[in-house]
Amino acid sequence: MDSYSERQMFTKRELALLRAAEVCVRAATDPDPNNPVRCHELARAVARTLDLEASTAVQFQDGYYGHVEHSWLWTTPVDPVRLLRRAAWPTILDVYSVGRLPMVQLVAARPGALPHERGAFTLDDPRDPSDVWGGEVQRLVGEMRGALRLLVRSSPKFLSELQTLERDEGVWLEATR
């Protein structure tokens, strides 16, 4: 059964991004239990893997979820001034949800949608680049791109969803090549 949220609150594009992000996160490994992958690297790796980092389609945001330092993705371009006023928040693609399962979630953050959730996310300045482990992001990107390529080859439906995202949104996805 499709939920109300799936039918009414999120666009087809956002649902396709969610499915692609789920594949990326499932493919990610955490090789050192003493030094686990953090949301800051995971969000950047998903954005880079989906070739959305440089486009205006998705941008990552550093901030807080409650009192916890957190990073997440926006599903549409953001206007920093309107974000600060909390006037127009787009949907959040949270790839490392804090204290919730499933791990990858879409969060309706626009005005009038789930104010308790929207209030839990607080914006902050971008993290200092020295605090984002670039080598870890690159390692994750390699794992994620490999998993996406495998899925694209084995699932015509998934490939079709990605190609529709590419066609309709102008987002180029390396995995479809």
Question: 61-85: per-residue pLDDT in tens?
Answer: 999 999 999 999 988 877 777 677 6
The region of weakest confidence among 30-44, 93-107, 114-128 is 114-128
Q: What is the domain count for the chain?
A: 1
Residues in the chain: 177
Domain of residue 120: give its range: 4-176
Q: Measured in whole angstroms, how far is the alpha carbon of residue 42 from the centre of its chain?
A: 9
Q: Measured in whole angstroms, how far is the alpha carbon of residue 8 from the centre of its chain?
A: 20
Q: Measured in whole angstroms, how far is the alpha carbon of residue 36 from the centre of its chain?
A: 19
CA distances for 152 relative to 84, 117, 120, 124, 145, angstroms: 38, 33, 35, 36, 10
Quote the pLDDT of residue 143: 94
CA angle (101, 107, 113) in 5-degree steps: 130
Identity of the residue numbered 105: Q
Question: What is the Cα–Cα distance from 68 to 99, expressed in whole angstroms?
Answer: 10
Tokens describing residue 164: 């529709």
> Is pLDDT at 176 greater than 70 in this prediction?
no
Tokens 């953050």 correspond to: 109
End-to-end CA distance of the chain: 32
Give the pLDDT mean for 112-127: 75
**How does DSSP classify residue 155?**
-
Find all residues with CB under 8 Å of 163, minimum gap 6, and list them: 176
> Is pLDDT at 169 greater than 90 in this prediction?
no
Computed over its alpha carbons, how large is the radius of gyration of the chain?
A: 16
Tell me the pTM.
0.84
The residue with greater pLDDT, 152 or 70, is 70
Find all residues with CB under 8 Å of 38, minimum gap 6, and list them: 96, 133
Nearest to 139 by CA among 55, 52, 49, 18: 49
pLDDT tier at 168, thresholds 50, 70, 90 = low
